[in-house]
Structure 1
Amino acid sequence: MDNTKCIAALFDFDGVVMDTETQYSLFWNKIGKQYFPQIEEFGRIIKGQTLVNIYAKYFAGMEKEQQDITARLNQFEKDMAYEYIPGVVDFMKDLRAHGVKMAIVTSSNDLKMANVYKAHPELKELVDRILTAEMFTRSKPAPDCFLLGAEVFGTVPQNCVVFEDSFHGLEAGNAAGMAVVGLCTTNPKEAIADKCKLVIPDFTAFSFEKMKALLA
């Protein structure tokens, strides 16, 4: 750890701050069955990627289909339930009390996050920055989004802790050279244990001191 730089906590959003991943899996698995019936669990395959990347990889040249999916997704996100992962608000307040910089680093776009702010206007006050899909070109598993998180706080990767739940997100955190904490909210503990320093079910038993120990 570089003691001349601040410590930063970088949180993925879905499945880390809000318990939304199960809802998204239902939506994208339905899309998968419609367009790619040969692919099992399409929702799991695309987790952590921006909509732009999903379209580029799976729906290239399919403009009408992209428009249809976007319209369905926008409506779906308006109707979604946004509930905090247990303990995350208290954990963020603990980090704030210890001077830790915090950012939500998400593949979600500004339109989706506007729905979140309507449901939880306090979210913007809990963290210092919210970095969305519009702010980086390559989505997870590329490390760009987390490296941007370090950059906006003027710190270095070795001072950053990433909180992630998806395979792409965990890979991105590791590629960024940061300490990675995996939440087994989306994937089983056994499936992600070798991809992070620590696995937790939620934030109820987690603290600033436990996070700081990962940077020693």
Structure 2
Amino acid sequence: MTTSPALATRFGLPDGVEACLFDLDGVLTRTATVHAAAWKEMFDAFLRARAEQSGEAFVAFDPDHDYEAYVDGMPRADGTRSFLASRGIDLPEGSDDDAPGSATVAGLGNLKNEIVVRRIREDGVAVYDGSVEYVRAVRAGGLRTAVVSSSANTADVLRVTGIEDLFDARIDAGVARERNLRGKPAPDTFLAGAAALDVPARKAAVFEDALAGVEAGHAGGFAVVVGVDRSDQAEALRAHGADVVVADLSDLLDR
């Protein structure tokens, strides 16, 4: 399948773009807040117990600054290590079957995922209507689409929200683990998404709300990296590699 330049420019994209690679949390779905709350619940429990044992002051996880600076858009283990390092904490890696909440990188990550699954089950997941409108529009225009997410729950979220049929390919945490792909801010998963659509990076667009994600898009040599500003960080998105920043993907339909 090919896409004419005339079609591509209708979607606020450069001439020659044939495919769109969408992050999930914060771009397509409102699960970024679910993840931020889950990180906070997990880290606060760990930090409180650590403070009680050591006698040090308890400093809570900040769901705004800490989430954006250290964990947003990253694979679970990388985000866990990143935040712990910011507090000067070094834990053993552990293994995938560590009990949730164990004092290992894997154990804390397992607890975080357990909390996310619980919150999704109890509260459900909402989509960004403007993003879904945009995905439908680009598909109607002949562009191919893929979801590229660091989440292990991507398939479940797509199914729960009823948008799984809008994507030709899915690269998520499970695929990344199977193929030994580096997580964002490395470009590996986005490159895998483009390859799954049989489109070179230079003819694909990346859509991201996370700083690590726009870094990944910039590093991968894609045609354009669209930053989606959901939390008043437009300048930071540009500084990390976004070529275009919008408040919502529907804004691109007017360009």
Same fold, judged at TM 0.5 (above): yes
Say whether the 8 Å CA contact 2:146–2:169 is kept in structure 1. Answer: yes
Point out the more displaced range, 193-202 or 71-80: 71-80
- Which residue of structure 1 lines up, in the alignment, with residue 238 of structure 2? 193
Pair 1:74–1:60, CA change in 2 (3 A):
farther
- Which residue of structure 1 lines up, in the alignment, with residue 228 of structure 2? 183
Give the superposition deviation at 1:130: 1.8
Alpha-carbon RMSD across the aligned residues, in angstroms, is 2.6
Give the superposition deviation at 1:156: 1.2
The one-letter code sitting in structure 2 at the alignment partner of 1:131 is I
Pair 1:86–1:167, CA change in 2 (3 A):
same
Distance 1:33 1:69 in 2: 11
Which sections of structure 1, spanning at least 5 residues, go unmatched? 211-216
Give the superposition deviation at 1:114: 4.3
- Which residue of structure 1 lines up, in the alignment, with residue 132 of structure 2? 89
Distance 1:56 1:100 in 2: 37
**Which of 200, 203, 221 is equivalent to 1:156?**
200
Say whether the 8 Å CA contact 2:146–2:193 is kept in structure 1. Answer: yes
Give the superposition deviation at 1:27: 1.9
Pair 1:11–1:68, CA change in 2 (3 A):
closer
The one-letter code sitting in structure 2 at the alignment partner of 1:189 is A
Say whether the 8 Å CA contact 1:166–1:187 is kept in structure 2. Answer: no
Pair 1:61–1:150, CA change in 2 (3 A):
closer
Distance 1:165 1:149 in 2: 17
State the identity %.
25
Flag the structure with more relative contact order, 1 or 2, with Cα contacts below 8 A and sequence separation at least 6. 1
Count of aligned residue pairs for this structure pair = 204
- The alignment's TM-score, normalised by the length of structure 2, stands at 0.71
**Which of 99, 121, 127 is equivalent to 2:167?**
127
**Which of 92, 97, 108 is equivalent to 1:60?**
92
Point out the more displaced range, 13-22 or 26-35: 26-35
- Which residue of structure 2 lines up, in the alignment, with residue 50 of structure 1? 75
Distance 2:218 2:164 in 1: 26
Distance 2:75 2:214 in 1: 15
SS of residue in 2 equivalent to 1:87: helix
Q: For residues 1-216 of structure 1, what are the structure 2 equivalents within 5 Å?
A: 7-36=18-47, 37-38=58-59, 40=62, 41-44=65-68, 45-55=70-80, 58=84, 60-61=92-93, 63-64=98-99, 65=102, 66=107, 67-109=110-152, 112-121=153-162, 123-136=163-176, 137-178=181-222, 179-194=224-239, 195-207=241-253, 210=255
The one-letter code sitting in structure 2 at the alignment partner of 1:9 is C
Distance 1:6 1:170 in 2: 18
Which sections of structure 2, spanning at least 5 residues, go unmatched? 5-15, 48-57, 85-90
Say whether the 8 Å CA contact 2:42–2:111 is kept in structure 1. Answer: no
Task: Give deviations 1:37-96, integer Å, cap 9, x for gaps.
Answer: 556544331111122434566553453421444433332232343222231122112111
Distance 1:68 1:83 in 2: 23
Distance 2:156 2:198 in 1: 30
- Bigger radius of gyration among the two: 2
- The alignment's TM-score, normalised by the length of structure 1, stands at 0.82
Give the superposition deviation at 1:6: 6.6
